[in-house]
Amino acid sequence: MPHQHADEAMAALTLLVAALLEDPAVRERVEQDPQLRAGMNDPAVHRHVSAGATVEQGMPGLFEIVASLLADPPVQAKVKADPTLQRLWADPAVRQQIEQRRRR
Residue 51: phi and psi, rounded to 5, are -80, -5
The answer to whether residues 48 and 58 touch, using CB atoms and an 8 Å cutoff, is: yes
Residue 36: phi and psi, rounded to 5, are -65, -45
pLDDT of residue 34: 87
Helix (H, G, I), strand (E, B) or coil at 58: coil
For residues 95 and 89, give the distance between their C-alpha atoms in angstroms, rounded to a whole number: 7
Report the domain count for the chain. Answer: 1
pLDDT of residue 1: 45
Range of the domain at 54: 2-103
Distance of alpha carbon 23 from its chain centroid, rounded? 13
How large is the C-alpha radius of gyration of the chain? Answer: 13
* Residue 39 CB partners (closer than 8 Å, separation 6+): 45, 61, 62, 64, 65
- Per-residue pLDDT tens digits of the chain, which is 104 residues long: 455 566 777 777 777 777 887 888 888 888 888 887 887 777 776 666 665 555 555 555 666 777 788 888 888 888 889 898 888 888 887 777 777 766 76
